[in-house]
Structure 1
Amino acid sequence: MTLPAALVAELSALLGDGWRMDAASREAHAQDDSRRHALPAAVALPQTREQVIALVRACRAHEVPIIARGAGTATTGAAVPTQAGIVVAFTRMHRILAIRAEDRCAVVEPGVLNGDLQAALQAHGLFWPPDPSSFETCSIGGNLATNAGGPRAVKYGATRDNVLGLVAVTGTGELIRVGGAYSKNSSGYDLTHLLVGSEGTLALIVEATLKLSPRPIAQAGLRAFYRDARSAAAAVSRLMAQPEVPAALEFMDRRSLELLRRNGSEIPEAGAMLLIEADGSVDTLPDSLAALGAAAEGVGLLDMDVALDGAARARLWAARRALSPALRTIAPGKLNEDVVVPVSRIPDLVAGVEALAAESALTIVSFGHAGNGNLHINILYHPDDADETARAQAALPRIFDLALALGGALSGEHGIGLSKRDFMAGAFDPATLATMRAVKAAFDPDGILNPGKLLPDAS
């Protein structure tokens, strides 16, 4: 795509050294963690909301696509500029504007890294709950775009549940303000939560007011080992059926445990493991652990131990977060899907995936946030093996069909982007998709914001 000379001149004057058309800058913004690749025509690095407004208006006038980008850690291709256009990277809008402990909120720009925000909140005894595995390097803007989750979502909710207000620029270049520094709001349509998870297709977020939570005084973890994945899945249902809510509830299948052992973790032989976290006060934590431990017991339990000190818990979580990147040591090809089902259907999802792996003669590794019914199902294959690649690609829609048949959804936290866009027509009826397209048209009538993502083409 060749940009109009008038647009290049206007944006170069607007952004100064924040306007890049050199090959290195374009290449650096051509892909995300999905490993899809497409070169943008240019990269814009705005520093203010006024620059974002002017940029959007200029691109609209010339009908040039805009692709918002955070830190590039997403796995669905949502930030890949498949139609060229201009990638708007928010790395220079990285200020924490305010930490308002009395209002339990923080006001930030989209380029702030999740890990940097957490560090800044420690002195206030607060934290922001969303904790994806890339929390140290992913941006708040990216978390907002995908409605990112993480292990703590089972107790504290995903990104959408921890946002109070937004300031954003629509596809017409208008600045809108939705929500604010208050936790109750019964005023009009809830545009705040509509924008969260919209993957940059409705507006460019330039400021967010985030809901903060008190940092727990005491924490502890349980490791429960089971004979097989079905026994562990049944324990998940028991854990979520009783009153004590775990702070995290992670499932790892046999292949996951093998991978952890290969990478140096001291994990005994087992068919599956649950990592169960509890938090609270010093007085309440023992009772919480006792309740969760009792629910974890049952048919198939092999062993259970407790990690009380911070170092032991840190090792457990470091191993869990290292699982996804370590998968490519098994096979270079990976289809990573994050389907979600009602928690009561987790046993059926696990059984269905195991049956599919056996039938397809594929290595499928499953782990993830079982307390939310959200599992990461990783289909591994060798791209240089045509038959294995074909079997992997054929297994993918069957994973989605299984999740939908169990009353679930295509994605629990990664979003749709490019990787699941073509499956949306099977997940939603025509009337629902038409409503989504009408919302898109209201925010972005010319279709310049992240075109070709999230919504399938109208038939």
Structure 2
Amino acid sequence: MTSLPAALDQELAALLGDGWRTGEDERQAHGNDNSRRSALPDAVALPNTREQVVALVRACRAHRVPIVARGAGTSSTGAVLPIAGGVVVSFERMNRILEIRAGDRYAVVEPGVLNGDLQRALAPHGLFWPPDPASAELCTVGGNLACNAGGPHTVKYGATRDNVLGLTAVTGTGELIHCGSATTKDATGYDLTHLIVGSEGTLALIVDATLKLAPVPPQRASLRALYADVASAAAAVSRIMAQPTTPAMLEFMDAACIELARDVGGTDIPDAGALLMIEADGDAATLPHAVAVLAQAARGEGLLSLDTAPDEIASEKLWAARKALSPALRSIAPGKINEDVVVPVSRIPELVDGIQALAREFDLPIVAFGHAGNGNLHANILYDPDDAGQDARAQAALPRLFTLTLQLGGTLSGEHGIGLAKRDFMAHAFDPATLAAMRAVKNAFDPDGLLNPGKVLP
């Protein structure tokens, strides 16, 4: 039974027609995400146009009803859970690619466009949008914008925030604002575009975005480097990132991941203390040089082996180990806390050593892999949620992981965002004055605190 004011229920039913849902099944379907948490909204709205979003926000504000924007629900932080009830605004119907300007290398899209669908639409133009999270086939551009999503290609091409030129959004007061432009240079006024990107729906609801596109590299080649220990691999990462040829991808796996990929994932990979997957891209004239330079940087103390894949088919074979990880993790534990902490590249050995110490202390498997070129590692705490002891130990290990990360000069999230999972740790990551400035920004966009309440800020 919904607890919405009857007048609001009637107004939004008239506005949205069959896009206004208050049934139990629909509410439950929009009350969870990939964090394994859940919270029931009072209703679900499926707008078709920006005008409907404006009217919806104004109506909810008049009745002081919370609003939570939702993409595909792939968040692992609880960012889209309606913990205060209210209306979940699903953008699944606003899924149009409004414009592709290949000559100017930008596209204008609505928030419900799937990342994978966008890439397929851009391919005939020889272009792509660089953010490539693991959930690209399922996640929406709006969700990517909300959490500043990244992926393996971030090391060369940047995260979502680096690949957005402008956007149109609806603030918590129901005002339609236009931020940024369709140009790659813009020194006009405050940069509201990059403020809203990564704000997890707490400042405004994005109704369209102008995305910066990149040309698809004609060729790719990969290398796989095995090292005796994490310190040797981290030193290689520093060498790789210090020379002028930027890798298109630079991925790290610790010893536990290597064992998992081999024993559970069935990939052909020998024992090692750490592994780096390195990808270069370019054309026929430049690619061999890039591969040679990256291979030279990868060589050094502790290197056990270095394999080169000169073409796409061979590259896919090398990347099989990395792709086998997620299924392998699911097969050995029903529960997984996947945190995307970031440290300076030189501190990766200390982070991995600390993670291994936590695994021993809490008697749980904790494996680390991820985007080494950015110092962004996914620390996966594996446990059985139905085992009270394991569940308690997993929850106790999490704050220790965050404390370790901050002590190493790192940050809580590289691409997943804060949501609910890391909200209370923001007070450890920022001083009171900085948090006060964030709250002032929140109040300017959403003075009634109705947009995604209870998220991001402690």
TM normalised by structure 1 equals: 0.97
Q: 1:52 to 1:86 in 2, by over 3 A?
A: same
Aligned ranges for residues 86-125 of structure 1 at < 5 Å? 86-125=87-126
Shift of 1:231: 2.2
**Deviates further, 387-396 or 61-70:** 387-396
Deviates more, 1:331-340 or 1:430-439: 331-340
Contact kept in structure 2, 1:236 and 1:370, CA below 8 Å:
yes
2:138 and 2:308 mapped to 1: Cα distance? 30
Q: Is the 8 A contact 2:234 2:346 kept in 1?
A: no
Partner residue in 2 for 1:18: 19
- Note if contact 1:230-1:350 (Cα within 8 Å) is conserved in structure 2: no
CA contact (8 A) 1:56 1:171 kept: yes
| Counterpart residue identity of residue 209, structure 2 | A
Amino acid at match of 1:403: T
Aligned counterpart, 1:394: 396
Percent identity (aligned): 71
1:422 alignment counterpart: 424
Cα contact 1:114–1:139 (8 A) shared by 2: yes
Q: Does 1:40 align with 2:41?
A: yes
Query: Hey, what's the Cα distance between the residues in 1 that align with 2:240 and 2:168?
Result: 39
Aligned to 1:362: 364
Q: Distance in 1 between matches of 2:241 and 2:358?
A: 26
Structure 1 residue ranges without an equivalent (≥5)? none
Find the counterpart in structure 1 of residue 194 from structure 2: 193
Partner of 2:352: 350
Which residue does 2:310 correspond to in 1? 308
Q: Is the 8 A contact 2:265 2:327 kept in 1?
A: no
In the alignment, the residues of structure 2 paired with residue 318 and residue 111 of structure 1 have an alpha-carbon distance, to the nearest angstrom, of 30
Relative distance call for 1:14 and 1:414 in structure 2 (3 A) is same
Cα distance, 1:402 vs structure 2: 1.3
1:318 Cα offset (Å)? 5.4
Relative to structure 1, is the Cα distance of residues 206 and 322 closer, same or farther in structure 2, using a 3 angstrom cutoff? farther
Q: Could you say what secondary structure the match of 2:342 adopts?
A: coil
Residues 1:443 and 2:445 are matched in the alignment: yes
Q: SS state of the match for residue 110, structure 1?
A: coil
Contact 1:239–1:296 at 8 Å: present in 2 too?
yes
8 Å CA contact retained: 2:265, 2:324: no
- What pairs up with 1:225-374 in 2 under 5 angstroms? 225-261=226-262, 262-317=264-319, 319-374=321-376
Q: Distance in 2 between matches of 1:256 and 1:147?
A: 26
The alignment partner of 1:339 has SS state of strand
Letter in 2 for 1:147: N
Rounded to whole Å, the distance in 2 between the matches of 1:334 and 1:168 is 34
Q: Deviations over 1:168-191 (max 9, x none)?
A: 000000000001110111111000
How far is the alpha carbon of 1:296 from its aligned partner? 1.0
From 405, 410, 413, the counterpart of 1:411: 413
Q: Give the structure 2 partner of residue 384 of structure 1.
A: 386
| 1:52 counterpart residue number | 53
Task: State the 1:309 CA deviation.
Answer: 2.3
Closer, same or farther: CA 313–384 of 1 in aligned 2, 3 Å: same
* Superposed displacement of residue 281, structure 1: 1.5
Matches of 1:454 and 1:182 in 2, distance apart? Answer: 30
Verify the 8 A CA contact 1:233 1:350 in the aligned structure 2.
no
Matching residue's letter, 2:175 = E
1:312, distance to aligned residue in structure 2 (A): 3.0
The letter of the residue matching 2:17 is: G
256-265 or 57-66, larger mean C-alpha shift: 256-265
Report deviation, 1:357.
Answer: 2.0
RMSD: 1.3
Distance 1:326 1:15 in 2: 43
| Conserved 8 A contact 1:250-1:368 | yes
1:321, distance to aligned residue in structure 2 (A) = 3.9
C-alpha displacement of 1:163 = 0.2
Query: C-alpha displacement at 1:374, in angstroms?
Result: 0.3
What is the SS of the residue equivalent to 1:277?
strand
Q: Which residue of 1 aligns with 2:456?
A: 454
Q: One-letter code of the match for 1:441?
A: N
**1:341-398 CA distances to partner (integer Å, 9 max, x unpaired)?**
1122222212222222223322111000010110000111223333333322222111
